[in-house]
Structure 1
Amino acid sequence: MPRGRKCKACTLEKRHQARQVPQNLVDAQATTRSNEGASSQVEQRSRSSQALPTMESLHRHRLNEKVILLVYYLLYKYQIKEPITKGEMVRNVIQIHRNHFLEILKRASDHMEVLFGLDMKELDPYRHVYILVNKLEPCCDTVLNDDRGVPRTGLVMTILGVIYMNRNCATEEQVWETLNVMGLYQGRRHFLFGEPKKLITDLVKENYLVYRQVPHSHPPHCEFLWGPRAHVETTKMKVLEFLAKVRGTDPTTFPFLYEEALKDEEERAQARAAARAHHPAMARERSRAEESSSSHP
């Protein structure tokens, strides 16, 4: 190629390269910015995904606090023997979490049942008025409270359940093992229930429990049984239902105990029917005796 043409071609090539360099730089910078943007979006999404569990956990923590506060509020209302209304619970405890009222009430009611043996009953579905009912017969309400009025029915039902699940008698070790799981230890005063050993002694004195030495045991050891008052104020079926509630299951998942509880219910029904039939007969005999005595001055 002639020198002139070659130089001219070199010049055109350099000009073309010069034009390409800025364009390549722009393309490269655009690509870099695109990558940075994508990376930033990924990072933002990552931060957002990390923030969501944090916000969720914070929300759950606040609801848990409301559940605990509602438990104390319900316990206070039970102690002063006042009914509870939805309006009071929302205004005094739940407040801004009113949209979660049913969830909070359900969880608090479960705690009241498991810890204190108190069932939440709705008296008026229109005005949303509730009361707390002791699982044992009403006559034991005052007896099963300590000086501060804390119901002990939940503990009583738990101990009766341990006895029932161990073929109607439980060793001291079995009872205390269960109480330890609940945070009650011998010699250590509980912030709600006081000294646990005194609690057990009181329940024996009140005939809810029988405490006896196992016959012919070597070395000697003692066991607990249901006391006569427990047989009057509750049933095996009620205790089994309570245990199932605590474990989040159904009474039928304990087939042997369930069959025994059904048999106990049938025997109690027959005894009540016999008592009802016996009372009219006694009344008629008493009436005849009174008429006979009045006819003979």
Structure 2
Amino acid sequence: MLFGLDLKEVDPTNHCYGIFITSGLTYDGMMHGEAGVPKVGILILILGVIFMKGNCATEEEVWEVLNVTGLYPGKKHFIFGEPKQLITEDFVREGYLEFRQVASADPAQSEFLWGPRAHAETTKMKVLKFIAKVHGTDPSSFPSQYEEALQDEKEKAQARISAKGLRHSKF
């Protein structure tokens, strides 16, 4: 189990995997009155693309990955509804993603970054472990991302220690 998901091989012959949500991100679609469990899987894929592309991924790069899963912008999906709305509006409104125009791009281009809620609820290491599991390898197989994820873990641990120290020093 990683990042609130369990990745299980459902068809060994064709190397097909299923993502099973067990815990993790708090996104549940409640703000839209929708079931949110399957949507966490899409969110994790997007966070993974963003991280692997240097913490910023173009909209085109994100859709290349999502197209492999059968999701296309403007094409309603029987589980996810209209995926472009889910990704560029719902996940952005919930704070999991940032979606912005690239100022210097010609033609116009948009990009995704992790939003504040994604930073608060998960780590780069958890996302990297998930990606590594999908690829049948370990996180150190992605050396630059692994080093960045280790640094992220260290910084988050130091921030927790500092916050704990501040709470205790006030009394």
Q: TM-score with structure 2 length normalisation?
A: 0.84
Amino acid at match of 1:255: P
| Separation of aligned partners in 1, 2:70 and 2:134 | 16
Please list the CA deviations of residues 78-131 of structure 1 after superposition, one character each: whole Å capped at 9, or x if unmatched: xxxxxxxxxxxxxxxxxxxxxxxxxxxx645x6234xxxx1xxxxxxxxxxxxx
Q: Deviation at 1:186?
A: 1.3
Decide which structure has greater helix share.
Answer: 1
Correspondent of 1:111 among 18, 32, 36: 18
How far apart in 1 are the matches of 2:131 and 2:154?
21
More strand by share: 2
How many residues get paired?
A: 157
Q: What is the SS of the residue equivalent to 1:140?
A: coil
SS of the residue 1:174 aligns to: helix
User: SS of the counterpart of 1:212?
Assistant: strand
- Secondary structure class of the residue paired with 2:155: helix
2:114 is aligned with 1:207: no
Deviations 1:221-246 (A, max 9, x none): 11111111110011100110111111
Aligned residues of 1:237 and 1:262 also touching (Cα < 8 A): yes
Check whether the contact 1:144–1:151 (CA below 8 A) recurs between aligned residues: no
| In 2, Cα distance between equivalents of 1:182 and 1:147 | 20
2:124 is matched by which residue type in structure 1? Answer: K
Question: Following the alignment from structure 1 to structure 2, what is the Cα–Cα distance between the partners of residues 205 and 247?
Answer: 31
- 1:169-191 deviations in Å (ceiling 9; x for gaps): 00010011111001001121112
Consecutive unaligned residues of structure 1, counting only runs of 5 or more, are 1-105, 119-132, 285-297
Q: Residue 24 of structure 2 corresponds to which residue in structure 1?
A: 135
How many Å apart are 1:146 and its aligned residue? 6.3
Gap regions ≥5 residues in structure 2: 1-7, 11-16
| C-alpha contact (below 8 Å) 1:210/1:224 kept by paired residues | yes
- Tell me the amino acid that sits aligned with residue 223 of structure 1: E
In the alignment, which residue of structure 1 is the partner of 2:166? 278
- Output the aligned Cα RMSD: 2.0
Out of 153, 178, 193, the position equivalent to 2:65 is 178
Structure showing greater relative contact order (alpha-carbon pairs closer than 8 Å, 6 or more residues apart): 2
Number of the residue aligned with 1:239: 127
- Measured in 1, the distance between the counterparts of 2:30 and 2:115 equals 15
Tell me the residue number matched to 1:158.
45
Normalising by structure 1, what TM-score?
0.50
CA distance in structure 2 between the partners assigned to 1:145 and 1:112 by the alignment:
23
Change in CA separation of 1:149 and 1:233 when aligned onto 2, cut-off 3 Å: closer
* Larger-gyration structure (1/2): 1
Percent identity reads 55
CA–CA distance in structure 2, aligned partners of residues 231 and 144 of structure 1: 20
Q: What SS does structure 2 have at the residue aligned with 1:111?
A: strand
Distance (whole Å) between structure 1 residues aligned to residue 159 and residue 140 of structure 2 = 25
